[in-house]
Amino acid sequence: MHHTDIHHIAVIGAGTMGAGIAQLAAQHGYQTLLYDVNRDVLATAHERISYFINRLAEKGKLSHDEAAQSIARLRVSSDLDDAATAQFVVEAAPERIELKQRIFKDLEARLSDEAILASNTSTLSVSEIAAATDHPERVVGMHFFNPPALMPLVEVVAGSESSEQVVETTIALAKALGKRPVRTQDTPGFIVNRVARPFHLEGLRLLEEGVADIETIDRIYREAGGFRMGPFELQDLIGIDINYAASQSVYEAFDHAPRFEPSERQRQQVASGHLGKKTGRGWYGDE
């Protein structure tokens, strides 16, 4: 399938990522079906997407007509059969391998043989998801970043069985959605979550060893490292539990390589329940 043959995109899961990806697809001219098992989530996502698109029109980034058309292109549904006519699917359901494998099987039973099935997984193996299907060559990774409507990067992940055509079409589609795709092999953490490990873990080690306090470490990353944020302020933004889970997942996938060993100090912080901005307090006090 060529990317110009794609007119209808289905997004599976209407949470943080799925809602943003659906917004992006509808805004870029695709008939978009947003599916979730939870109707309340769907209703909230629908409202939120319309709100964001209308705001773009108010700011003059879209005409009012374009905004209305974008919103009209979006449908939400809790019936997976409604995804059957999609030529391209992006799955953004919870990060659990059995769940994703089941969704891909269910999709395969409904969609045409040519349809491309992409997963937005951050840490799971695309090849392992694909292994549950009869046609693993049409399964690919399409890893967006949060928030998907704004972040330019997309990692396109070639699974061990993904066909070259499927990878190329996914790259072309990412470009058609206004993104800057990079191609990566199906390796734990892909590129971004892998390079992010030493960034976070070394900061945590400095803290654990008592070399400096949180504020100083963040400041040195910013001022000497040239990063926009240090590891502690960034973890407060991402969610410390999410960051810890990413470390655990990469550590497991690399057979407990010492360089990826998760931080005990971070584990304790997760156990304290102070997870960052989303709980009002994280490494830093009231947020």
Ligand X SMILES: NC(=O)c1ccc[n+]([C@@H]2O[C@H](COP(=O)([O-])OP(=O)(O)OC[C@H]3O[C@@H](n4cnc5c(N)ncnc54)[C@H](O)[C@@H]3O)[C@@H](O)[C@H]2O)c1
Cβ at position 226, least distance to ligand X in Å: 23
Active site residue 193: yes
Cβ at position 93, least distance to ligand X in Å: 4
Between 16 and 63, name the residue whose CB sits nearer to ligand X.
16
Q: Which of 46, 119, 127, 143 is catalytic?
A: 143
Active site residue 143: yes
Using CB under 6 A as the criterion, which residues of the chain lie in contact with ligand X when the complex forms? 12-18, 36-38, 41, 92-95, 99, 103, 120-122, 143-146
Active site residue 155: yes
Cβ at position 37, least distance to ligand X in Å: 4
Between 44 and 54, name the residue whose CB sits nearer to ligand X.
44
Q: Which of 70, 119, 120, 122 is catalytic?
A: 122
Cβ at position 269, least distance to ligand X in Å: 19
Q: Which of 119, 120, 193, 247 is catalytic?
A: 193
Q: Which of 91, 108, 155, 161 is catalytic?
A: 155
Q: Do 144 and 176 meet the contact criterion of CB atoms below 8 Å apart?
A: no
Cβ at position 278, least distance to ligand X in Å: 11
Between 38 and 165, name the residue whose CB sits nearer to ligand X.
38
Q: Do 123 and 189 meet the contact criterion of CB atoms below 8 Å apart?
A: yes
Q: Do 15 and 41 meet the contact criterion of CB atoms below 8 Å apart?
A: yes
Cβ at position 177, least distance to ligand X in Å: 15
Q: Token pair for residue 150? A: 């704004």
Residue closest to ligand X when measured from CB atoms:
15
Between 143 and 200, name the residue whose CB sits nearer to ligand X.
143
CA 45, CA 271: separation in Å to the nearest integer? 30
Between 14 and 116, name the residue whose CB sits nearer to ligand X.
14
Burial class (CB in 10 A: 0-12, 13-18, 19+), 234: buried
Between 67 and 154, name the residue whose CB sits nearer to ligand X.
154
Q: Which amino acid is located at 111 in the chain?
A: L
Report the DSSP beta bridge partners of residue 106.
Answer: none
- Please enumerate in sequence order all residues whose Cβ is within 8 A of that of 256, keeping only pairs 6 or more positions apart, or say none: none
Q: Do 66 and 41 meet the contact criterion of CB atoms below 8 Å apart?
A: no
Q: Any idea which residues carry the catalytic annotation?
A: 122, 143, 155, 193
